[in-house]
Amino acid sequence: MDEILQYLERHRESFEEDLCALLRIPSVSADSRHRGDMRQAADWVYGQFTSMGLKAEIVETAGHPIVYAESPPVAGAPTVLVYGHYDVQPPDPLDEWVSPPFEPTKRDGNIYARGATDDKGQMLTHVKSAQAVLATTGKLPVQLKYIIEGEEEVGSENIESFLDDRREQLACDVIVISDTSQFGPGRPAITYGLRGIAYFELRLTGPKQDLHSGTFGGAVTNPLNTLAKMLAALVDGAGRIQIPGFYDDVVELTDTERAQFAVLSFSEQSFMRQIGVEGVSGESGFSTLERRWARPTCDVHGFWGGYSGEGAKTVLPCRAGAKFSFRLVPNQDPVKIGRSLEQMMRALCPPGIKLELIDLHGAPGVLVPLDNPYMSAAASAVERGFGTTPVFIREGGSIPIVNAFKAKLGADTLLLGWGLDDDNTHSPNEKFCLADFHRGIKASAALWDELGKLNA
């Protein structure tokens, strides 16, 4: 192991340069203008694997390509599947970035760029650790299989058929993903729960064209007024979602879990300071951590219609729309929720308005078992990388593929997050702490070692 650690020390700079090279590629999966960049990012990841001597392949899908790589089988040791994503969220609003999103810049020990933490930097830790082990010892203590996809940020819709097609090739004992966060600086965490998601676009259409609100207002249903009413009807004053049956399948927090959350030293004050608000609200009866990690939500992401230019325009707009989603918790079913939502929306839709509800994507929530040797190996590895034992947390974001891995490959996932809650993921000035990048690589190298001690 000493040799591997020395290799990691000697290659700190080259690892950072490689990360910057990947961060310079604007691989925005949601935006079709970036198709070429998506391909370039996939090629770059593929190049990493082949230069390490791994068997690698770029797999075409109906959407963006998947990069697959594997090392040789190791008799008697487990097979570990690493998942990550090379796609990133759109960088807007561009003028709020201190340095441009695709020009990675080092400031105060962090690297700033879209995708720095989510997920290029975190994903790369598991590539660089293997590079170090292979370069120093010539072989890995476990068989590694990598799936690095390009559609995580848009719902991972095409990866399921890849899992179906390759069930045998992808057979593994455990899955490793680094696409989550530590509990705080210097407080590494293993995440055992994620929320799911159900994401929709609502389109309302009224008269055949925009109208004068004086001539027609009051007699013709306004799609924007209707949109506002429909969105407002989704959540009541106590933060409870009003879709019929929405809470039917919710697995409630146990008293033990609530007590475990309560002893984590979470400061509501510093949380509010971090995001720049003077108060918080949510579903009544639950703490902030409970609301973020283990309760369902509804958030509107954007809406449109009518006039929002300079000055006043008395228009009765002919159409309106919105994008919104629900974060889900185990065992809520996104499909069932979509059906009930559609019924509710149709019942609220007044005469003179046509409604279209588009289901953009969905994924159920996740809870992974804590009591198994893989989890203990992961805890030891995190301790070896970060110098302190990890805490076990849940998180509020979603990684759609985790349930599919369980259902199709029968394996549980180790969610080992090297990020921080203030990394500005999905927002301007995304960053990743470079010390955590290197600690992550060290923890990852230790993970292959710890997992290699387990019998398959």
| Residues belonging to the active site | 87, 152
Q: Are 323 and 201 in contact (CB under 8 A)?
A: yes
Of ligand BES, Zn ion, none, which one does residue 149 interact with (CB within 5 to 8 Å by kind)? none
Task: Tell me the CB-side half-sphere exposure of residue 38, using CA atoms within 13 A.
Answer: 27
Q: Are 411 and 375 in contact (CB under 8 A)?
A: no
Shortest gap between Cβ of 119 and Zn ion (angstroms)? 4
Residue type, 26: P
Question: What is residue 235's DSSP assignment?
Answer: B
Judged by CB under 5 A, the chain residues 103 through 132 that form the site for Zn ion are 118-119
List 118, 151, 412, 430, residue binding ligand BES (CB under 6 A): 118
| 373 phi, psi to nearest 5 deg | -65, -30
Shortest gap between Cβ of 199 and ligand BES (angstroms)? 7
Does 450 help bind ligand BES (rule: CB under 6 A)? no
Q: What mask of x and - would describe binding to ligand BES in positions 347 to 386, judged by CB under 6 A?
A: --------------x-x-----------------------
In the bound state with Zn ion, the residue whose beta carbon lies nearer, of 79 and 181, is 181
In the bound state with Zn ion, the residue whose beta carbon lies nearer, of 87 and 290, is 87
Does 115 help bind ligand BES (rule: CB under 6 A)? no
In the bound state with ligand BES, the residue whose beta carbon lies nearer, of 122 and 226, is 122
The rounded distance, in Å, linking the Cα atoms of 341 and 200 is 10
In the bound state with ligand BES, the residue whose beta carbon lies nearer, of 194 and 377, is 194
Does 399 help bind ligand BES (rule: CB under 6 A)? yes
Question: What is residue 417's DSSP assignment?
Answer: E
The full 3-state SS of 64-114, as one line of letters, equals CCEEEEECCCCCCCCEEEEEEECCECCCCCHHHCCCCCCCCEEECCEEECC
Judged by CB under 6 A, the chain residues 179 through 198 that form the site for ligand BES are 179-181, 194, 197
Does 149 help bind ligand BES (rule: CB under 6 A)? no
Shortest gap between Cβ of 344 and Zn ion (angstroms)? 31
| 9 phi, psi to nearest 5 deg | -60, -50
List 398, 403, 413, 444, residue binding ligand BES (CB under 6 A): 398
The rounded distance, in Å, linking the Cα atoms of 447 and 375 is 10
In the bound state with ligand BES, the residue whose beta carbon lies nearer, of 143 and 398, is 398
End-to-end C-alpha distance for the chain, whole angstroms = 22
Judged by CB under 5 A, the chain residues 31 through 90 that form the site for Zn ion are none
Shortest gap between Cβ of 347 and Zn ion (angstroms)? 36
What is the full DSSP assignment across 177-218?
Answer: E--SB-SBTTB-EEEEEE-EEEEEEEEEE-SSS-EEHHHHBT
The rounded distance, in Å, linking the Cα atoms of 79 and 72 is 10
| Interface positions with ligand BES (CB under 6 A) | 118-119, 152-153, 155, 179-181, 194, 197, 361, 363, 395-400
Binding residues for Zn ion (CB under 5 A):
118-119, 179
